[in-house]
Amino acid sequence: MAQIVTFTVDEFKNDVLLVAKLQHINLVRLLGFCLEGEEKMLIYKFVPNKSLDYFLFGWFKQVLLDWSIRDKIIRGIVRRLVYLHEDSRPRIIHRDLKASNISLDKNMNTKISDFGMARIFGDDQTEGRTDIVVGTYSYMSPEYAMRGQFSVKSDVFSFGVLHLKIISGKRNRSFYQEDTFDDLLTHAWKLWKDGKAMELVDPTLIGDSKSLSEIMRCINIGLLCVQSDVNERPTTAGITHILSIDSATLPEPNQPASFKDYTRIGKMHQLTSKFILSPVFQDPITEVYPR
């Protein structure tokens, strides 16, 4: 069976070129494509468990994700990112890492999909810049959203957001305090600072007391990944090292970037027609229709 994904013309061309070069076990396998009239489709190998958002944000599925499975998914995503950032030739910056782009096979192994926004980096290149900011707003790093700068650390920021969503089981716009609204990162930081980090955790995970220390450690890692300062974020290889050694000492995170700080985006969009943001604030639940 195959999974059909639709794209704009530019995204379609970009995804075909990249995935054709990167046929790898860590990525969803591209079987073919269709380009006829207005219909542009990539045909991927079908993944039985659809994508992570289907489990994470579908309340009836969320209880199926115990900590062992979530931990497996987190580690799997990191390994896939290490491949893209460190081992792949060419090196790839995904630029749109999110729950709906994490596919799950029958054994809940992860594969990264949708390379329509991805960029190729040369061996000596560490950063790029664009006037056209595309992707999903609630996963964007501040330097990318506000200045169009992207790097492996931009993907790390997106992973940090996804990481905290896996732990909390909540969307970004799920945290309200009376008449005020906190996004996920602000809410997680406040709880961490006040010594109440466990209040962030999906209630379905609380019953497993043996995993609580691991979950606390993962919240720390997630907050390190979403630091405002690019240099304070770990690399994907560094995250792999941290996850593999329980005794590794983690630094205390500083206050992360807040999506409230991105208000300048609207002003920038009004000042120049070249700076374009494609915002998708909420996390959609992907519906896959096999053909």
In a domain, 31, yes or no: no
In a domain, 10, yes or no: no
The CATH number assigned to the domain holding 188 equals 1.10.510.10
In a domain, 4, yes or no: no
Q: Give whole-number Cα distances, 247 to 212, 213, 250, in Å.
A: 15, 12, 9
- What is the three-class DSSP state of 246? coil
Looking up tokens 């919240």, which residue turns up?
219
In a domain, 84, yes or no: yes
Residue 66 main-chain phi, psi, to 5 deg: -75, 180
d(CA 243, CA 224): 13
- For this structure, is 182 an active site residue? no
Catalytic residue among 53, 96, 114, 283: 96
Helix (H) or strand (E) holding 74: helix 67-82
Q: Could you give the number of structural domains in the chain?
A: 1
Residue 169 main-chain phi, psi, to 5 deg: 70, 20
In a domain, 5, yes or no: no
Residue 176 main-chain phi, psi, to 5 deg: -120, 135
Structural domain that includes position 71: 49-277
Q: Please count the other Cβ atoms lying within 10 Å of the Cβ belonging to residue 119.
A: 19
Each residue's pLDDT, cut to its tens digit, for the chain (291 residues) gives: 444 444 466 666 665 666 666 656 666 777 777 777 766 676 777 788 889 998 998 777 778 899 999 999 999 999 999 988 988 777 888 889 999 999 998 899 998 887 777 787 877 777 888 887 877 888 999 999 888 899 999 999 999 999 999 999 987 765 555 455 678 998 999 999 999 999 999 988 877 666 888 999 999 999 999 999 999 999 999 999 999 887 778 999 999 877 666 654 444 443 343 444 444 434 443 444 444
CB contact at 8 A, 84 and 19: no
In a domain, 11, yes or no: no
Adjacent-strand bridge partners of 102: 112
d(CA 164, CA 219): 7
In a domain, 88, yes or no: yes
